[in-house]
Structure 1
Amino acid sequence: MATQSPFSMLEGLFQNLPSALTPPAWAIEESHRRVVLLLNHVLQQEPQAMERLARQKGCVIHTQWREFTFRVQATPAGLLDLAGADAKPDLTLTITEDSPFVIAQAVMQGGKPSVRIEGDVQLAAEVNWLADHVRWDVEEDLSKILGDAPAHMLMQTCRTMGQALQQFVGKRGAASSESSGKAP
């Protein structure tokens, strides 16, 4: 007997949310600024990443998922800045999967979401390198605030929870593959 996942109900609810719940433009812009600050913080910890981005100075990267867009520009310092709405993108990355749950499942299994790439091939290669090689050392940043031992304990707890979630997602994926008659 097949049972329906609670995630499918949540996904249906998420997809049917009215567009009236769109946040105001100032809130979107401020959240984009915060994301750029975080990305730059992570980039500053990897000199090779900054060198690669500096070579792409002035290039605009436009990322889109459903109606959500994010546009940044590489600076001469090898960091990112918000690009103007009228800036012509050199590279457009469109996440083709509509379901946030499928995207989360792919990420939890160590993969990347499906992306349609249009534009500058060299810039796309640099962005791919950044995605593959740059990682945020959250534990190091937390240790500056909490101290080494509490930061390590907190991150160990998060890793344990992440592994449990990965196992759950893996089992769900295998169960749905079996129920649809496909091999995992």
Structure 2
Amino acid sequence: MISSTTSAALNHLLARETWARDKLVKHAGKVAFFDAGVTGVRLKVAADGMVQAATADEPANVRIRIKLSDLPLILQHREHAFSYVQIDGDADFANTISQLADTLRWEAEEDLSRLVGDVAAVRVMGGVRAAVETARSTQQKLAENVAEYFLDEKPLLVRPQTVEDFSAEVARLRDDVERLAKRIEKLKGSR
């Protein structure tokens, strides 16, 4: 089910990009298994450069293991997505997948324009982008305010500089106590 849905979405992107299909044609018949632990997606490259769901009994030429906990990082930093995964198998095929992951983009505005027209699609997508940016900004400000509250008003957290300063003071006090102890020993010995 997931593999079929994923292949349909990828084929939608590949349908517009001849260069991407040309890259995949070189790997026709190969299977990529994207393993997320709890679930996985098996995709097979078709002869025309499109992808289709692969069956579980077809051996994977490349296995890409993804930790679900890394998924937000992967989505935020698509250009570094493959640094968060573990890859086993056909290096050339994995490299092609990596290149496509970096460069294939969904043009939502173009798809939406078929339904509502060009002007409305541009405005809707502008509104969506603004809403996403507002949510991101609000989340950042909330995190900063919560941190400030727990650092200054209800100190449950300590600033790193405060910890460093405290550690330096403790080290200085320890050294002073050791010097004082040596002086006291000298004074006791000189009597």
Query: Which residue of structure 2 aligns with residue 21 of structure 1?
Result: none
Q: TM-score, normalised by structure 1?
A: 0.70
On the 8 A contact 1:109/1:166 being kept in 2, the answer is no
Measure how far apart 1:88 and its partner are.
Answer: 0.3
Matches within 5 A, 1:153-164: 153-164=123-134
**Corresponding residue to 2:99 among 120, 123, 129:** 129
- 2:158 and 2:52 map into 1 onto residues whose CA distance is 45
Larger of the two Rg values belongs to structure: 2
1:147 aligns with 2:134: no
The answer to whether the 8 Å contact 2:44/2:52 transfers is yes
The alignment-based identity, stated in percent, is 25
Q: Which has the higher contact order (CA 8 A, sep 6+)?
A: 1
- Counterpart contact for 1:91–1:119, Cα < 8 Å: yes
Query: Are 1:54 and 1:78, in contact at CA under 8 Å, matched by a contact in 2?
Result: yes
CA shift at 1:168, angstroms?
Answer: 5.0
* Number of the residue aligned with 2:75: 107
The alignment's TM-score, normalised by the length of structure 2, stands at 0.68
Q: Distance in 2 between matches of 1:109 and 1:161?
A: 20
What residue number does 1:116 align with?
86
Q: Is 1:58 aligned to residue 29 of structure 2? A: yes
1:89 to 60, 70, 80: 60
Letter in 1 for 2:40: T
- Which structure 2 residues correspond to residues 36-51 of structure 1 after superposition, within 5 A? 36-51=7-22
Alpha-carbon distance change, 106 to 162 in structure 1, aligned in 2, over 3 angstroms:
farther
Q: CA deviation at 1:106?
A: 4.8
For the structure 1 residues 46 and 94, does the alpha-carbon distance in structure 2 shift closer, same or farther, using more than 3 Å as the test? Answer: same
Which consecutive residues of structure 1, in runs of 5 or more, have no partner in the other structure?
1-28
**For structure 2, which runs of at least 5 residues remain unmatched after alignment?**
152-156, 161-191
The CA distance in 2 between the partners of 1:115 and 1:103, in whole Å, is 10
- The structural deviation recorded for 1:64 is 1.3
CA RMSD between the two structures: 2.7
**Whole-angstrom distance in 2 between the partners of 1:172 and 1:180:** 18
**Distance verdict in 2 for CA 1:32–1:130, change over 3 Å:** same
Change (3 A) 1:173 1:124: farther
